[in-house]
Structures are given as structure tokens and as C-alpha cells.
Structure 1
């Protein structure tokens, strides 16, 4: 094992017996790849070896998919619900969420839509002071944690280059990590202006992924029930 891990003699034996205090991260990564550990096995090893979960997944593809049951969960939710991966790419969503967008075209990436499109800047009320800073913060954090993630690297570059959101992204001080328990105002295409109450969770099978439920409450004087439901 030591030869395969390119380590000094007896290193793996000491690690396996718990005699290697605070083993280095590169050793844990090497052991995980050599033994082809699952995400749960790799996480358990880190927790016992270093007292916390791994900062980065063992494989780059981890977190890019979720079990099909998450689509079933979205379909069974009456409120808007969607699931994204660690780079905010949409993995699952329900019909109520599709209603949020022009011609019900759900974006491939929610962070890109919220931060870089004119549609979002019209739909998300108080975009510059409320939505943009709170969305930019977790993107910055995710990229800092996973600088080798190509999707996050591309998103980071595009946000920095954008003349409108660039200053918010690079200079913002918002410390938001996830939209759990956050209330924001938006203008729903079907129901007009109102309050979006967000509840967020994290699928255990996909590190970095997030599942978000948006509970929308239209303003009492802004509801637009006269509009037909899109096909």
C-alpha cells in the first residue's frame, strides 16, 4: 500500500491503526482514490481522520447528479421547487417553478439567470440591493472551496466580466451561504408582485447540491388571477 500511495514505509499501517495524527489531505485523497471509496465512505474517513468533512469531493463528477426521487419530490410539491448542483446547474424542477419564467423556459443555471439576465433583473424586485448580493455570495464561496471546478470557474469569470453584476460580485460583503429562511420580493409573471419565502436543503447524495422550495405569497392588491395558465 505504501508503494502504491507513494509514501514512506509503514505510513498506511499507522494511518489504518489511527496512529497517524492529523493525516495530510493529500494522503486522504490518495487513499480514497486507491480504494475507490464511495462518497459516504470518503466523508466518513475524513471525519474520523481530521474531524470535519472533506472540503472538496473525491471526484469532480460528484454532486452533478441527484437520484430520480428528487424529481418525484419536485413534482409532488405544490410550491415552486427546484434542485441544482454545486455550480447551480438545474437538475430537477416542478411545473410551478417553470411558471416563473418567460414562456416557461427554465434556465439551465439558476445563478446565471439570477445574476446575468435582464429577465431576472426585472423579475427579482430590489435586484441590485437584495437579490444580487445574496446570490453572488454563495457563488464566491463555492468557487473559493472548489477552484478547480470548471463550471464554477467559468461562472466566476463571467460574473467578474459583467459590467453590471461585476462590482457586486467582486466587492460585495454579503455573507449569505444558502437561501434558507430568506424572504425576497419578486414579480411573478402570472401573479404579479409578492413575497418569495425560500426554504433550502442539501441532498446527501450530491455534495454541494441544493434543493430549494419557494413559497410565493402575492400582494393582496397585486394578484393577477385574470391571466390564463400557460400550456
Structure 2
């Protein structure tokens, strides 16, 4: 079967539009806990546009434009997060790319996927052993590819293979949950992105992350123009005010690690003040 415009593929249904495909994929997706405030309710299977937009790290309006088939500069990072949220296979991911931006994905495997980044059982066991401290793994572009149960309790969005930087810099709730948002979190994070871009200037996932953040936030553009550079957050003491802590402010020491087998993986452990790793 052939895709519109002569772009073909046996796994892409002939004649189906992008809106039709997206609605079908969204309706079959498994409902997840994507809202921190939504009351439990009886519902059918599938995700709402609002839920899917939150999982993909964009506004409901931005996702709605895509589902209506409106042309825009949709980034690879956004399309890959959408693929992950919808649980698409690689053929379906390619179909999404072809219909949304007219070309296949740069990588045959989604860069934010565990398979692409090298997540395995040994690394997952290491994360689990850090409990009760939250721990997680990100790839080079800060896509969360592995986590333990405490991390999922603290940051529910991360368990949907979210992106650490997009949530921290663009999500409205991040400004409330990350104490001293601009000074302690946003500016250091932008400095880390700048440093990573200097180290890996040809990495498309990093370039896409930078473009998306700067395109969606005037405040981020203003901080970016300060041209600050930060290598990592290892050893930093920062404060959080999360819903799971019921309004209590928590101080955490960040332990950031690199694996010897790959310089493209980051392991992070959040040590609550007075609590040791593996305690």
C-alpha cells in the first residue's frame, strides 16, 4: 500500500489521513494516570486529547492542531514523544512522520526508547536498589528511559518516558514544584543543554530539544541569551515541593553518574536530605 504523495510502505494503510490515524491510535491507547489532580472516574479505554498532549509535553491546542491535520514545524522530539505515548511500533512511527512532516524519521529506532539508549535489567536493578531515593536514567537528549518506583511517585510524568528538560522548562506545574525555579533549575538546565550541544554538535535529538524549548518559551529564550554553561548537576542541593509530599518542602542532593559503557546515558539519584543511597 502506498502513502499519499508517493511515499509508500506496506505497514501504512492506503488512503487514511493523519487525523484518522491519530484518532484511531489515541482511542486504542491504554489510559494512564496523567493528571495529578483529576478525580477517579469511570471511563472508556483510550486517551483524551488533553491526556495525550500532556504525555507528549505540549499544549492541548498544539496537539489538536496536529490531529486536525494542520501543517506546522513539528519537531522529531515531539513526534517521538507522541509515538511513545501512543505505544506505536516502528512502522506506525514512520507513518506518523511521513504524514506529519513528509519524511521518515532520521533514526530507525526512536531515540528516547529504552532499546535505543541501552537500558537493561542490570541497570534497572541498580535503580530499584536506590529506593527509597528516587532514581532515573536519561539518554543524551534527557528523555527518561528508566526509573524506579519512588521516582514515579514523585514525578508521575517521568513514567510515561517524558523528557526531563521539557517538563522542567515548559510545564506550568514545574514552576511550583521546583523551588527557586529560575535560579536553581531553569538556568542551570539550559546551561547543561548548551554544554551538551557543544559536545555533540551533530546530534539531531539535542538540536531538536534546543529548538523546541526556545520556540515555545520566551522566558527560556531570555535565559538562553545569558550564555551560561553548566556541565552537570552532580552534588547540587536543590529544593522540591511536590504533591506527594503534601505541601512539605524537601531538599535533595543530586547524585549524577555516567556509565563507563556509554557516554550517552545519565543516571540520577535524588537523595533526600539526611537519607543515604540504598538506605
- Give TM-score, length-normalised by structure 1: 0.62
> Is 1:99–1:189's contact at 8 Å kept on the other side of the alignment?
no
1:170 aligns with 2:225: yes
1:110 aligns with 2:164: yes
CA shift digits 1:173-228 (9 cap, x unpaired): 2x32111100011102222212111111101122132101001249xxxxxxxxxx
1:107 deviates by 4.9
Whole-Å Cα distance in 2 between the matches of residues 211 and 103 of structure 1? Answer: 17
Q: Which runs of at least 4 in structure 1 moved beyond 3 Å after TM superposition?
A: 102-107
Assess, with a 3 A threshold, how the Cα gap between structure 1 residues 103 and 176 changes in structure 2: closer, same or farther: closer
Whole-Å Cα distance in 1 between the matches of residues 224 and 243 of structure 2? Answer: 27
1:98 aligns with 2:140: no
1:130 aligns with 2:187: no
CA shift digits 1:85-125 (9 cap, x unpaired): 11111121001101122577555211111112112111101
1:168 deviates by 1.2
Larger Rg: 1
Matched residue, 2:138: 84
Whole-Å Cα distance in 2 between the matches of residues 204 and 71 of structure 1? Answer: 16
1:146 deviates by 1.4
> Is 1:198–1:213's contact at 8 Å kept on the other side of the alignment?
yes
Whole-Å Cα distance in 1 between the matches of residues 234 and 153 of structure 2? Answer: 21
Matched residue, 1:143: 197
Structure 1: runs of 5 or more not aligned: 1-60, 219-231
Aligned residues: 157
Higher helix share: 2
> Is 1:85–1:206's contact at 8 Å kept on the other side of the alignment?
no
1:202 aligns with 2:245: no
Considering Cα pairs closer than 8 Å and 6+ residues apart, tell me whether 1 or 2 has the greater RCO: 1
| Superposition CA RMSD, Å | 2.3
Which residue of the other structure, out of 240, 244, 247, is the alignment partner of 1:186? 240
Structure 2: runs of 5 or more not aligned: 1-110, 275-279
- Give TM-score, length-normalised by structure 2: 0.52
